[in-house]
């Protein structure tokens, strides 16, 4: 049987399926109840689970805002409004892990709104495309492996989808519009880079919708324009105010120093930098040895006398403009799309083809082509500068997906006689996509059910008691020893807390770090002050309570050489213990004791 024959046979069944869904979704109450129950069901499975993945920075953010430090209230990566809210809740309504609650709750609200609007403002197949994408590529990142970039992406996308549907003239209730405005603001608060990168995609989608309205022959009255545009204008104004507030907060003493320090530190460790030999003359002129350079690139900077903001800025200046070559960029795309991330590549291919087949006429197809072209441009730029991890790639693609969803029913579904074949094809693709969504949901549920554990409701309580019997945490709990951790080795401690439970103040003070993004923060500085340490790396030889913990002998050797080059020429070290701190698998670390030998 030919393809046209298959389409002819399947079209009535797919049309009946889509009509049934439309009848069900026509009732706002039914649609909301379905979206809410579906979201609660999935998030219960995804959050109350024995599964946990990381490391992500979210756990550290939760710790910094937990109230377990003498100071607090602000945090890198997220907006000050959100940080202040979480910190206030943790210090005034004690006993709950408010960071985790805020992250999970906002992701749940966004998912429910996304389902509600998708089923009401796009055809079945388009809604299925968006929900399949979220369930396969973002859901873990907003539940048991929560990451603030994924949360920002979902929250922002749900807000924009609702506001775009309102702008197009769909019947969107006031409560959904208000929720969408708040979601846009909190999408910005969870990660402003994700929100800003959404703007060109949302702008292009809005532009095409505007052109379609303008050329449709129906003149809208002024009041109608206000009704459609007011929620978006309010969202943008509030986002501008929130961003201005965050900017002002980071200009305050203490917070400004931390942000500046981390800006230069992260440029060394997170972005492309030249090899030391390629810039040896410049680095030596700045007083930076090869060992210093390697340490800075290895997240070892907890020496405030040497690794100052000025010193880190000098190092960054040497690597300024270091980019991937066009050939390296091409190799990255080939390797990632065709080898390492093949599932995602196939998923995007399916979304694109499905979007084109269901697009409403030329304008719909133009929207799909424009969004895919813009995505390609953004991806090339981000890969070129070395900043395109999965959490960025997946969230950016979601903004493409919502444009593709809206392209499916732009201006209605009625077509002319000569487009009957295209309409039939779109109907079959829509029905097939609906079936795929059901199967995808069943797959996700089957993956989550075996690990479902209602007892994990205690992760939302501010306590570490449920996990403190783990070997890794027992090792790190001796209050008479101050362990200075290599950041990568400390991930086993984070794993011990399952990236969800929050340690006590005593635990935090007896476990410090060689580096990382918390260094030079007001919270870290107050913790060190409480235990009488001014310089973490120097304390390894000056304070008898301190030991270095790492799984990497090169880190220990690098710290020793740094001490010898800058402070104690005769310093020595010795391994005093070897401990298995693995939680599920063996993971041995060595404990090093340093001496000055002056």
Q: Three-state SS across 565-584?
A: HHCCCCCEEEEEEEEECCCC
Q: What percent of the chain has pLDDT over 70?
A: 84
Q: Are residues 188 and 129 in the same domain?
A: yes
Rounded Cα–Cα distance for residues 39 and 314 (Å): 49
> How far apart are the two ends of the chain, measured CA to CA in Å?
89
Structural domain for 295, as ranges: 255-319
Edge-to-edge strand order for the sheet containing 588-595? Answer: 511-513, 482-485, 546-550, 588-595, 572-580
Categorise residue 6: left if φ over 0, alpha if ψ from -120 to 50, beta otherwise: alpha
Identify the pLDDT of residue 1. Answer: 54
Mean pLDDT of 461-487: 91
Mean pLDDT of 314-327: 67
DSSP strand E in 170-317: where?
A: none
Q: Are residues 264 and 375 in the same domain?
A: no
Q: Are residues 438 and 482 in the same domain?
A: no
Q: Are residues 82 and 209 in the same domain?
A: yes
Indicate whether 193 pLDDT > 50.
Answer: yes
Q: Are residues 37 and 174 in the same domain?
A: yes
Q: Is residue 11 part of a domain?
A: no
- Tens of pLDDT, residues 383-399: 655 565 667 778 888 88
Kindly indicate the confidence band of residue 578, based on its pLDDT and cuts at 50, 70 and 90: very high
Q: Is residue 179 part of a domain?
A: yes
> Is the distance from CB of 535 to CB of 472 less than 8 angstroms?
no
What residues contact 119, with CB distance under 8 A and at least 6 apart?
Answer: 21, 25, 31, 34, 35, 127
To the nearest 10 degrees (0 to 180), the angle between helices 148-168 and 390-407 is 10
- H or E element in which residue 401 lies: helix 390-407
Could you say which DSSP state residue 218 is in?
-
List the one residue out of 130, 85, 76 whose CA is nearest residue 106: 85
More confident residue, 120 or 272: 120
Q: Is residue 391 part of a domain?
A: yes
Mean pLDDT of 224-249: 95
> Is the distance from CB of 249 to CB of 74 less than 8 angstroms?
yes
Mean pLDDT of 570-596: 89
Most confident of 32-36, 271-275, 413-417: 32-36
Identify the pLDDT of residue 339. Answer: 47
Q: Choose one of 394, 423, 451: the last residue of a domain.
A: 451
Rounded Cα–Cα distance for residues 255 and 257 (Å): 5
Average pLDDT, the chain: 86
| H-type alpha helices, 93-191 | 98-121, 124-133, 148-168, 174-190
Burial (CB count <10 Å: 0-12, 13-18, 19+), residue 339 = exposed
Indicate whether 298 pLDDT > 60.
Answer: yes
| Number of domains into which the chain is organized | 3
More confident residue, 367 or 263: 263
Rounded Cα–Cα distance for residues 96 and 99 (Å): 9
Identify the pLDDT of residue 20. Answer: 85
Q: Is residue 416 part of a domain?
A: yes
Kindly indicate the confidence band of residue 373, based on its pLDDT and cuts at 50, 70 and 90: confident
Indicate whether 189 pLDDT > 60.
Answer: yes
Mean pLDDT of 506-512: 96
- Tens of pLDDT, residues 131-140: 988 998 899 9
Mean pLDDT of 224-235: 92
- Collapsing DSSP to helix, strand or coil, 511 comes out as strand
Q: Is residue 424 part of a domain?
A: yes
Helix, strand, coil tally for the chain in percent (to 5): 70, 5, 25
Mean pLDDT of 46-65: 90
> Is the distance from CB of 558 to CB of 295 less than 8 angstroms?
yes
> Is the distance from CB of 536 to CB of 514 less than 8 angstroms?
yes
Q: Are residues 175 and 107 in the same domain?
A: yes
Rounded Cα–Cα distance for residues 491 and 481 (Å): 19
Q: What percent of the chain has pLDDT over 90?
A: 56
Q: Choose one of 451, 480, 502: the last residue of a domain.
A: 451
Mean pLDDT of 193-211: 89
Q: Are residues 429 and 558 in the same domain?
A: no
Give the Å distances, CA to CA, from 348 to 142, 151, 180, 205. Answer: 20, 20, 26, 18
Indicate whether 369 pLDDT > 90.
Answer: no
Q: Choose one of 420, 451, 482: the last residue of a domain.
A: 451
Residue 369 backbone dihedrals phi, psi, to 5 degrees: -60, -45
Identify the pLDDT of residue 84. Answer: 97
Q: Is residue 411 part of a domain?
A: yes
Indicate whether 410 pLDDT > 50.
Answer: no
Number of H helices, E strands in the chain: 25, 5
Q: Is residue 184 part of a domain?
A: yes
Q: Are residues 379 and 496 in the same domain?
A: no
Identify the pLDDT of residue 390. Answer: 67
Least confident of 28-42, 99-113, 310-324: 310-324
- Collapsing DSSP to helix, strand or coil, 252 comes out as coil
Q: Is residue 462 part of a domain?
A: no
Q: Are residues 308 and 351 in the same domain?
A: no
Q: Are residues 312 and 332 in the same domain?
A: no
> Is the distance from CB of 187 to CB of 204 less than 8 angstroms?
no
Least confident of 47-56, 152-161, 230-239, 345-354: 345-354
Indicate whether 340 pLDDT > 60.
Answer: no
Mean pLDDT of 299-309: 95
Indicate whether 329 pLDDT > 80.
Answer: no
- Collapsing DSSP to helix, strand or coil, 397 comes out as helix
Kindly indicate the confidence band of residue 413, based on its pLDDT and cuts at 50, 70 and 90: very low
- Collapsing DSSP to helix, strand or coil, 547 comes out as strand
What residues contact 460, with CB distance under 8 A and at least 6 apart?
Answer: 96, 97, 100, 101, 104
Q: Are residues 379 and 279 in the same domain?
A: no
Q: Are residues 216 and 347 in the same domain?
A: yes
């Amino acid at each position: 049987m030919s393809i046209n024959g298959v389409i002819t046979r399947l079209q009535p069944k797919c049309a009946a399926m889509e009509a049934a869904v439309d009848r069900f979704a026509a009732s706002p109450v039914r649609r909301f109840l379905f979206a809410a129950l579906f979201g609660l069901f999935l998030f219960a499975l995804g959050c109350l689970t024995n599964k946990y993945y990381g490391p992500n920075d979210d756990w550290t953010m939760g710790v910094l805002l937990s109230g377990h430090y003498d100071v607090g209230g602000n945090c890198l990566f997220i907006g000050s409004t959100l940080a202040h809210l979480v910190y206030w809740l943790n210090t005034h309504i004690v006993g709950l892990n408010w960071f985790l609650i805020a992250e999970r709750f906002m992701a749940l609200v966004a998912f429910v709104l996304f389902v509600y609007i998708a089923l009401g403002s796009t055809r079945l197949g388009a809604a299925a495309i968006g929900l399949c994408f979220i369930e396969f590529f973002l859901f873990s990142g907003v539940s048991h492996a929560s990451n603030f970039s994924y949360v920002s992406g979902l929250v922002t996308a749900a807000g924009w989808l609702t506001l775009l549907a309102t702008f197009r003239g769909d019947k969107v209730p006031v409560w959904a519009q208000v929720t969408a405005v708040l979601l846009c603001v909190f999408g910005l608060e969870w990660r402003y880079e994700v929100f800003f990168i959404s703007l060109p995609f949302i702008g292009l989608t809005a532009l095409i919708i505007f052109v379609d309205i303008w050329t449709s022959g129906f003149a809208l009255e002024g009041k109608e324009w206000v009704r459609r545009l007011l929620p978006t204008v309010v969202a943008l104004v509030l986002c501008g105010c929130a961003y201005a507030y965050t900017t002002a907060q980071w200009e305050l003493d203490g917070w400004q120093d931390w942000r500046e320090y981390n800006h230069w530190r992260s440029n060394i460790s997170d972005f492309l930098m030249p090899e030391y030999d390629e810039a040896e003359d410049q680095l030596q002129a700045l007083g930076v040895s090869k060992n210093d350079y390697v340490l800075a690139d290895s997240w070892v900077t907890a020496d405030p006398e040497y690794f100052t903001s000025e010193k880190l800025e000098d190092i960054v200046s040497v690597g300024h403009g270091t980019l991937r070559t066009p050939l390296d960029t091409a190799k990255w795309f080939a390797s990632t799309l065709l080898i390492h991330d093949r599932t995602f590549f196939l998923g995007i291919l399916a979304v694109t083809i499905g979007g084109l087949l269901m697009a409403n006429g030329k304008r719909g197809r133009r929207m799909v082509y424009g969004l895919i072209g813009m995505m390609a441009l953004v991806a090339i730029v981000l890969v070129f500068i070395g900043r395109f991890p999965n959490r960025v790639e997946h969230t950016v693609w979601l903004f493409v997906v919502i444009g593709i969803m809206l392209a499916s029913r732009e201006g209605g579904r009625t077509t002319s006689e000569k487009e009957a074949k295209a309409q039939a094809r779109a109907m079959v693709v829509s029905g097939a996509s609906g079936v795929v969504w059901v199967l995808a949901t069943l797959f996700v549920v089957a993956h989550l059910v075996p690990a479902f554990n209602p007892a994990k409701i205690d992760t939302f309580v501010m306590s570490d008691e449920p996990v403190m019997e783990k070997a890794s945490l027992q090792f790190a709990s001796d209050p008479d020893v101050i362990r200075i951790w290599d950041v990568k080795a400390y991930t086993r401690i984070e794993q011990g807390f399952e990236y969800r439970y929050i340690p006590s103040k005593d635990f935090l003070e007896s476990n410090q770090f060689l580096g990382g993004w918390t260094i030079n923060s007001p919270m870290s500085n107050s913790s060190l002050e409480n235990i009488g340490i001014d310089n973490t790396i120097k304390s390894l030889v000056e304070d008898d309570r301190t030991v270095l913990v790492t799984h990497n002998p090169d880190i220990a050797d690098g710290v020793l050489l740094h001490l010898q080059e800058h402070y104690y020429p005769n310093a020595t070290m010795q391994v005093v213990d070897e401990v298995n701190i693995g939680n599920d698998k063996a993971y041995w670390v060595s404990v090093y004791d340093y001496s000055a030998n002056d």
